[in-house]
Structures are given as C-alpha cells and as structure tokens.
Amino acid sequence: MLTHFRYNPVLVALIAIGLIAALAIGWQRHAVETGNSRVETVMDYEDIIEFARMEGIAVPDMMRRLKEAGLTSIAVYETTLEKLPSSGTFAVIPGIDLIARQRSGELAQPLFSDSGGRLDPAQVYIFAAPNDAGAFDELAADFARRLGPGRVHRLAAADGRLAMAVDTDYAKTLKANLGLPTFQLKDVADNGFNIVARPSNYTKATADDVGAVFARLAPFAANVSGIMFVGDEALGFPGQLAVTARLIAENGYTLYMIEAPVQLKFVRQDGMLDIAAAAGYLAARVYVIPKEEQPKLALATAINRWALSDQERNIRVNLLRKYDKAVPGQNLTETNLAYISGIKKAVEAKGFALGRAGVFAPYFAPPWLLALVILGATAAGVLFLTLVWPFPARWQYTILAILALILTVPVLAGGGTLARQATALTSAILFPVLAVTWQLDRWRRREPRQGAALGRILGDGLGGLALATALSLAGGLYLGAVLADIRFLLEIEIFRGVKLTLLAPLLLISVIYVVRYNPLGGEPIDSHEAIARQLRRVLDYPVHIKTLLLFAAGAAAAWIFIGRSGHTAGVPVPAFEIKLRSFLEQVMYARPREKEFLVGHPAFLLAVMALYRQWPPLLHYLLIVAATVGQSSMVETFAHLRTPILMSFVRGLDGLLVGAILGVLAVLAVQILHYLSFLLGRRTTPHE
C-alpha cells in the first residue's frame, strides 16, 4: 500500500490564510449577533379580553398585571362578523333571522324608516349606538373596501340607532377579515403596550388597499413595533409588495416572520420574503409553541423552551398563548402571570432585555474576505485528493486555480450565493475527514509496539482528539463565515445538504482508510488492479449469521443517524435522552450533541487503543468511522446559521469535554475487561 502522503505546504498555507479570513468574518458576525439582544413578549388582544372575562377582572386591571409580569406587546387582529358582537359596540343579525323575528311579532314594524319596511334575507344587518359613530363609519369603510362600495347600504333605524345592510352571505363571511379596529389599537396603546399589527391581504390588492392599512395604524405609529401578516399571503401580494415594503421601511416598523413548526425557515406566506428583502431585512424571527403542544408542557418546561429559543435560534419575538388550565395551588390568573414572569426572568438570565424586538444590522461579509475563505476551502479539497492518491504539484495548482476562479469571481462581483453555499458544503464534508486523516497518518509514522501502556494510550488519544477537534472546528468556522450575512442569520437563506454532510465524510474516510490500512487484510492496495482485486474479494466475502446481524445493527444505526438529522425527522427521541438533554442544557452553556460525546469522541480513544493493541483491522476501521461521525457533527453544528457562532463554537468544546471523559471511561472499562479475561484465563483446571 502507499506508505507516504505529502501535505503540500502551499495548500496548507492557503488553508491557514482562509482560516484567518474566516476568523475575521466570524468576529464581525459575533458583533452583529451580540448587538441584537432585545426580545419582545406578545399575547393576542382577544386572548387577553377572553381571559379577563373568564376571571372576572376588569380589562385595564388585567393588562396592568400582565405588563408588570413582563408582557411587552399585544397583537391586534382584524375584526370579523363573528367578533363584532363580542366587542360590545355592534349588533349583527342575518336578514333571515330579522325576518323571522319580525313575523313573530318580536320586533316593531317598520324596523327602518327608509327601506319601506322590507328586509332582505340575503343581507346582514349591523346596528350601533349613535355615540359609536366613529367605529360604525370605520366598519362601513372596511366592508366597502373588502366587498365593494355598492354592497354596503346605510339605513335609518326607526329607533334612532345607526344601521347598515351588507350584501353578503352571513355563514360564508362569518370569519372573513375586515380591518384592524381602531378602538382595539387605542386600547392597547392607552394601556402602555406596543402594538403588533396582524393584517391580512386583500383580493386583488391595490396600492390604496395597502395604504389604508398603514393609514389606520398612523395615529398609533409610536406604539407599533411590528407587522405580522395573517393568512397564506403577505399584504399586497402579488402586485403591491413593493408598496408594503416601502411603507414598512418608512414607518420604521419591523417585519415579524413566524418560524415554521419544524423549526426550519418560516410558516409559508407568499410574498413575505420579498418584502423582507425590499425593506432592507428589517425583520425579526417569531416563535410560537404549537397550540396542540402547549397544554402538555409544564410551565417550567415551556419557560425553558422560550429562553433556549431566544438564545439558540435568534428568536426575538415570543408569541405567547395563555394557559387555559391552572396549575395546582394557583388560580388561572396566577398561573398565567407566573408563566409570563418566568419567561421574563429566564430570558433576562440569558443576557437579553425585554422591549421591542431587536433586529440585526444589515451585515454582509466583505467580498475579499469571502474570496480568501473560498480559496482556503478549495485548497482543502485539492489537498484531500492528494491524500487519496498523490499526483504532481503542477496539477494540484492547476485544479486549485480553476476551481478558485469559478467560485470567487461571482462573489467578488457582489453575488455568488450558490458559490458560497457550495463552499460551505465542501467545508462541512472535507474538514472532519482531513482532521481524522491527519491522525491516521500521524499514527502510521510512529505506530507503537503491541501492548502499549494505558497511560500512553490515553495521552496520545486525548492529544489526538484535541488536535482533530481543532481542525474540525476550523472547518466549522469556514462554514460559519462563508455564509455570514443577514439573510442566513434570519434563515431567509439556509445551508443546503445537511444529510450529505453526515454521510459523505463516512464514505470519504473509508476511502482514506482503505488506501492506508486495508481493513480486510491481504495484499497492499497500491494500484488500480489491487483495488479491483480487493473489490472482488469483498463481494466474495462469506456471509455468516453474525455478519448479517452486524449489518442489521449497522442499518439500524444508520436509520437513527440519518433519521435524526435535519428538521423533518420521524425517528422518535427516547424519554431518557430528553432528560439528558435537559440536564446538559442546565449545566452547560451550550448543550453538546450526542453524536459527539456519546459516539464520536469515545470511539476516537478506542480507535487509538485498537491500533496500539493491534485489534483486528476491521474493528479499527469501524471505530475510525464512528470517530468521524463526531467530527462531522461538530462542523455540521455551524450549518445552523441562526445559532450564534460563539454558541456553535462553545458547543463543540463542551462536546469535547464530555466526550473525552466518556472516552477515558470507555478505555478504562475495556482495560478492566481485559484484566478480568486474563485472570480468568489463568485459572487452573481441576487435576491439572
């Protein structure tokens, strides 16, 4: 087999230069992330009103208590026919019901002085007191805008009330949005809260429709913190998105984007991301605990989730739902106030301040620094090829120049998102492989005699693990830097290829291992013919029951490994693992990943033991693959661009600490088993 692999110093130098550039970008990104430290806590206006009525508490008093507990903002939705009666201002009666009541003699006749006493069953009749003329006029204008002016008819009620008839089907328009009610906006502002406006889109929206929404908000502009759209379309979609974006920017409002339930990107609203871009990314990420999940969560669990979401996923708007069931020993009001105050304390303990949602500075990494990072990643790719099969330096530099030119030119021209994503994917795949490959080559240069002392195994293993971790973290910094701009921090753009970053390194390290060690034994692999013969040997390998069991175990491990990656996994998480995660979240700054401290890092130390004690080559190979899993996981952590880069870095160090401890324990356990086996083997048989 090949005995010597040369690490081209020019390629290594370019990788080092790229790392320096990545560190510079990473520091700038860190400054942007730490500068965004305000979190907004929001509840729906209608929930608060319902809650106050259920508890028999005056609405202003309830709002005061919520504000003291830590609620900063209230979301105001558009009114609907269904909601109008509960406002206490309007009476809404379908025409068919009015006709029935009139025929039964329940209503005086005529009902209206200007309609000839005729009622239309296809109309909806709305009444209000004379002193509510402002709200009545606003409602009439909303109906006219939604349905058309010809379908709204003002009437003179015989009893002096304000009245209108609307040509619409009551049942089908019961939940249709009409407009933001001024009296609710005023109520929120008067009680000292920020307003989160939740408008819906119009059918065939015009610029005037969009402008009307912002005109409704204008008297309360000082209190409006953000816009959070309702429905499947953003306000102004499809033709007036530019108007919406312009008005958001001009008024200094923030666009609130709701994170999808799978915690990847956002709940789909057509046109929302276009508005975010046109408004200069003046946007914040919103999280809401799913409605069906919250009742199952204990208060402490829910509170902890909010704090972690704000810290780990750049959530800046906590959209809270009320608890409808009191905890033991408290009434419903006390339960919800404890919930909100607990969130306030937990969020502040993470270093955040409560107030209007913070936003990121419009950061885009300097193109020349990105070009250096891309050049370094390209050099890493060429270096890997030389470590599989060495080839002349002139070809190395030719490949380097061609690839670097293709990837850096679009970036230097001011674009290159695809080139940057390709670089990030390459870094995520190659750096963990290079980290483990370097360790393999170090071991091959000074392979010890059989039976090395336990102290040397642990010393070399821990030192090698630290070096491999440092190289893998360098790859993570590459990834975190090359995609460092506000679009990725907000998760408008994302890293692509998560599952590939977990699978590809295992395949590549297998290639590396084969050309160095030949896990099945036999002839050296030093030519293409030898590779073909080895492949035939693998295909002719006899299959025993234990081999099938081994493959079944491997398939199960792969199913869990791949199924648990990403955000759409269907592999359940065991209860004990949930408890372990919760414990680690409490005692460490960043919870390390199980693939690192339970699998990868212990396997690394056992791989050193396997080499020093000359265990079967196939077992050593499997341990090397498992060790690569841990290194790949560390780099893949940085693919979550919404997570602060410092947290991703510390997560890797925390994983190293816990994994090293477990790895030492694993080596000691194997050593103890070896001693026990040795002692049992020395026992003499009877009559010896």
Give tens-digit pLDDT for 118-169. Answer: 788 888 888 888 888 888 999 999 999 998 888 998 888 877 888 888 998 8
Model confidence at 568, pLDDT cuts 50, 70, 90, reads very low
**Integer Cα distance of 157 and 408 in angstroms:** 74
Q: Measure the CA–CA gap between 218 and 407, rounded to whole angstroms.
A: 47
Please report the pLDDT score of residue 688 as a whole number.
45
CA distance 338 to 332: 10
pLDDT in tens, 22-80: 999 999 999 999 999 999 999 999 999 988 888 889 999 999 999 999 999 999 999 98
pLDDT at 540: 66
Is the pLDDT score of 177 beyond 50? Answer: yes
- Res 202: pLDDT: 92
Pick from 331, 308, 343: which is nearest to 41 by CA? 343
Q: Is the pLDDT of residue 605 over 80?
A: yes
Stretch 357-376: mean pLDDT: 94
Q: Mind listing the pLDDT tens digit for each residue in 426-465?
A: 999 999 999 999 999 888 877 655 567 888 889 999 999 9
pLDDT of the residue at 199: 95
Bond from prior residue into 574 cis (ω within 30 degrees of 0): no
| Whether pLDDT at 579 is above 90 | no
Instruction: For residues 311-338, give the mean pLDDT.
Output: 91
Higher pLDDT, 153 or 13: 13
Calpha distance 309→105 (Å, rounded) = 60
Q: Which range among 81-85, 295-299, 319-323, 558-562 shows the weakest confidence by mean pLDDT?
A: 558-562
Rounded to whole angstroms, the Cα distance separating 604 from 623 reads 7
- Residue 681: exposed, middle, or buried by beta-carbon count in 10 A (0-12, 13-18, 19+)? exposed
Contacts of 8 by beta carbon, 8 Å cutoff, 6+ apart:
382, 383, 386, 393, 396
User: How sure is the predictor about 504, in pLDDT bands with cuts at 50, 70 and 90?
Assistant: very high
pTM over 0.75: yes
Q: How high is the pLDDT of residue 567?
A: 46
Set out the domains of the chain in order of their start, with CATH numbers. Answer: 9-33+363-525+533-679 (no CATH), 37-78+188-354 (3.20.20), 84-167 (no CATH)
Averaged pLDDT for residues 187-213:
94
Of 109 and 351, the one with more pLDDT? 351
Average pLDDT of the chain to the nearest whole number: 87
Residue reference for tokens 């690569």: 628
How confident is the model over 522-532, as pLDDT tens digits?
555 555 566 66
Q: What is the pLDDT of residue 539?
A: 63
Calculate mean pLDDT across residues 560-584: 58
Give the pLDDT mean for 371-379.
Answer: 96
pLDDT digits (tens, 9 = 90+) for 483-496: 999 999 999 999 98
Percent of all residues in the chain with a pLDDT value above 70, rounded to a whole number: 87
Cα–Cα dist 614/76, whole Å: 70
Between 553 and 238, the higher pLDDT residue: 238
